[in-house]
Amino acid sequence: MDTIDASRMDDTLIDVPRGLTNVVVARTALGDVRGHEGFYHYRQYSAVDLARERTFEESWYLLLFGELPGLSELDRFRERIAASRGIPDEVERLLPGIARTARGGDSLAPLRMALTALAATDGLQPLYDAAPEARVNAAIRIAAATPVLLARLHAYATGQEPRTARADLGHVANYLYLLTGAVPDEPHERALSAYMTAAIDHGFNASTFSARVIASTGADLAAAVCGALGALSGPLHGGAPSRALDALDEIGTPDRIDAWARATVASGGRVMGFGHAVYRTEDPRSRMLRDFAAELGGPRVAFAMEAERRILDVLAELKPGRELHTNVEFYAGVVMEQCGIPRSLFTPTFAAARVVGWTAHVLEQAADGKIVRPSSRYTGPEAPVPLRARVA
C-alpha cells in the first residue's frame, strides 16, 4: 500500500476507528479469520482441520514454505528443528538468574530476557541485512528454542533440575517431556498438539501486528518476537486460559454454577472463557478442544462441560440477543491442565505455539521492505504559542 507524507499533505489525513478496528493495514498470504462464519485458515487449509488431523510441525512447515510437506520433507524438517533447540553455555549460565526475576505479574518477562540473550549470543543479524535463507534459519531457531527456554526457566524457578531436549521426540512431545519428565502418551500429545497447532496464528491480533511493525524497521527477528511477547503480556490480549480455570475453581461444585454465573453478570464482571472479539458464532477452536478434552476425560473435564452448558443457559437468559459462546481459552486451560502443564505456563505455552505464526509474519513483512509509519491527528492546544519569559 502506498503511504502519504502527512507533513506535506495535511488535508489527506484520514481518521480511522479507535484500535484500527476493521482497518486493513497490510496484505498477507499466511491466513485469515472469518469471524461471522466461525472459520479461520492457515494458507489454503482450515486451521481446525490441520489441528485435528496433522502434526504441529506440518502446519509450521506450511506457514514457512507455502505447502504441506511430504514424509521425507517432514523428517528433514523435524531434524532441522531438533538441531535448532540447543541453548549455548553463555545463555544457560544466565537462566537461573533470569528465572529468579519472575515475580507474579508478567510470566513472559523471563522469556523475553532469555530470547534477547540467545539472539545476542547467536549473533542474529538484523532482518534488513540478512539474506532470505538466513531469515528462515533465524525463524526456525527462535521458534525451536522457545519451548526449551520456557521449560528450563520453569525448572530453575521451581528448584528442579532442567532436562535435556530429546532429538527423538517431536516438537510438542519434547516440550511435555521437558516439563514433566515423562514421554507423553499419544492422547495427551495429540491433545496438546491440537491446541498448539490451533494457536499458531489468528489474524492481525495485537501481538502479530506488533511483530510486523518491528520487523518493518529491519530489526533482528528476536526483537520482533520480544515485541510480540510484550503485547501478549497485556491482560486484554493474553492470560485467559488460566483465568477460565480460576473461574471453575471459584465455582467449585456443580450446584453453584447458576448462582455464580448470575452473580458475575449482575456485578458487571466478565465471565472468563465466553465471548470473542471476532467470532459471532461458536469459536471453532473451542469446539475442537472440547472434543479432545472429552477424549482425555476425568472429573475436571466433566465439570467443565457441565459449567459450559449451564453458563450458556444463564447468559442466554440474562443477555438476550447477544452472541455469547465459549471461546478457545475455556477448554485450552482444561486440556493443558490434563496434559500436566502448570497453570503459570498456560500463557507461555500459547506463546510457544504462536511464535511460529509471529516468525512467519516477520518473514513476510521483512520481504515487503516497507517501514510501517502511520500518522496521528494532533488534538492538543493550538500551536505555536510564544514562549513566555522565565519566572524567577
Grid cell of 110 as nine digits: 523471563
Written as nine digits, the cell of 271 is 465471565
d(CA 121, CA 124): 8
Compute CA distances 19 → 142, 236, 373, whole Å: 29, 13, 16
Q: What are the residue numbers of the active site?
A: 276, 329
Question: Which residue in 379, 309, 369 sits closest to 126, CA to CA?
Answer: 369
Residues 322 and 280: their CA atoms lie apart, in Å, by 9
Q: Where are the alpha helices (DSSP H) in the chain?
A: 47-53, 56-65, 71-83, 89-92, 95-100, 109-122, 132-157, 171-180, 186-198, 206-216, 221-232, 240-251, 257-266, 284-296, 299-318, 328-338, 346-368
Handedness of CA 168, 137, 350, 53 (dihedral sign): negative
Cβ-proximal residues to 372 (8 Å cutoff; 6+ apart), any chain: 25, 212, 213, 216
Nearest to 110 by CA among 236, 234, 230: 230
Q: Are 175 and 345 in contact, with CB atoms under 8 Å apart?
A: no
- Amino acid 50 reads L
The whole-angstrom separation of Cα 24 and Cα 263 is 39
Give the strand order in the sheet containing 45-46.
31-34, 39-42, 45-46
Q: Which residue has the cell 519434547?
A: 174
Strand (E) or helix (H) holding 41: strand 39-42
Quote the CA–CA distance of 265 and 247 in Å, as a whole number. 13
Type of residue numbered 308: E
Q: What angle do helix axes 240-251 and 328-338 make, rounded to 10 degrees?
A: 80
